[in-house]
């Protein structure tokens, strides 16, 4: 567990002023396409084509052992290169690699919340239009019904793609820490994703996102109203497939709503 001193160091690491830049290229140099620095760059190019990281929005982080790899802030994600990556020591919260003239991702505290609260090793943040739209539909109360969506929750059931969503996003035991079940949701399960309110600054979402993770032990994602989605997984493959599955379900839900069909 990360102690208060480590948390303080991490908060300091989130602000580049007064910190020296370091460019330890050994941390990001590899011919292996699955190396985190290469993987983040290639995935961001893919996500750009989906409309998830347009206008420098969105982000992605991968934790490999004690190293956390982070895409920088304010960079066109489709043009990102491995040398643009920030690398943080997971335990101390200190940056081991800080590219000159680039800023750490404002999403960093939220990525770290998924890593510490869920044991995830990959967290994706998208600005998907479909994610934003379902939060607006829920806010307006158009789909409210017993055991269904509400202003603070997106819910859908009896759609095959729900099977692509895990309970909690990580783990392989029958019952995991916090009381959540292992395995994926079934066709007849109701998938629920909590919705938190947006803030003026991304890092200010940290407390409400952490609270949502704690209060919804089976969720693998959190929606941010009028903003986007955070989704995580035990590895990159799981985080990516769950992000794809959720975006499919969000788009389907919007189209169902247009047709007057209920989600649950």
Cα torsion 48, 17, 211, 240 to 10°: value is 20
DSSP state of 200: S
Task: Map residue 61 onto helix, strand or coil.
Answer: strand
The closest alpha carbon to 2, from 90, 108, 109, belongs to 90
Radius of gyration of the chain (CA): 18
- Catalytic residue list contains 20: no
Is residue 50 a known part of a binding site?
no
**Active site residue: 20, 65, 160, 215, which one?**
160
Task: Answer whether 223's CB lies under 8 Å from 194's CB.
Answer: yes
Give the 3-state secondary structure of 221-257. EEEECCCEEEEEECCHHHHHHHHHHHHHHHHHHHHHH
Task: Answer whether 248's CB lies under 8 Å from 161's CB.
Answer: yes
Is residue 107 a known part of a binding site?
yes
Q: How far apart are CA 248 and CA 250, in angstroms?
A: 6
| Integer angstrom CA distances of residue 127 from 40, 155, 229, 247, 264 | 17, 19, 7, 11, 25
Q: How far apart are CA 2 and CA 257, in angstroms?
A: 43
Is residue 127 a known part of a binding site?
yes
Residue at token pair 């079934």: 186
In the annotated binding site for Zn(2+), the residues are: 125, 127, 227
Residues marked active site are found at 160
Q: Which residues are annotated as a binding site for substrate?
A: 107
Binding-site positions: 107, 125, 127, 227
């Amino acid at each position: 567990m990360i102690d208060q001193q480590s948390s303080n160091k991490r908060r300091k690491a989130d602000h580049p002023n007064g910190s020296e830049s370091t460019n330890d290229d050994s941390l990001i140099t590899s011919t292996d396409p699955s190396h985190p620095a290469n993987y983040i760059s290639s995935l961001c190019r893919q996500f750009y084509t989906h409309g998830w990281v347009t206008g420098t929005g969105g982000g992605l982080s991968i934790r490999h052992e004690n190293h956390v790899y982070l895409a920088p802030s304010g960079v066109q994600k489709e043009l990102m290169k491995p040398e643009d990556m920030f690398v943080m020591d997971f335990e101390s919260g200190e940056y081991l690699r800080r590219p000159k003239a680039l800023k750490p991702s404002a999403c960093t505290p939220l990525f770290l919340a998924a890593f510490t609260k869920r044991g995830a090793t990959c967290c994706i943040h998208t600005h998907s239009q479909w994610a934003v739209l379902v939060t607006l539909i829920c806010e307006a109360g158009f789909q409210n019904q017993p055991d269904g969506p509400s202003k603070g929750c997106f819910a859908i059931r009896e759609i095959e793609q729900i099977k692509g969503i895990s309970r909690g996003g990580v783990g392989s035991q029958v019952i995991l820490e916090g009381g959540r079940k292992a395995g994926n949701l079934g066709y007849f399960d109701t998938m629920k994703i909590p919705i938190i309110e947006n803030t003026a600054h991304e890092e200010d979402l940290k407390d409400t996102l952490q609270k949502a993770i704690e209060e919804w032990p089976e969720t693998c994602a959190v929606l941010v109203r009028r903003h986007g989605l955070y989704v995580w997984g035990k590895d990159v493959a799981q985080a990516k497939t769950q992000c794809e599955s959720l975006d499919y379900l969000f788009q389907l839900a919007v189209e169902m709503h247009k047709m007057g069909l209920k989600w649950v």
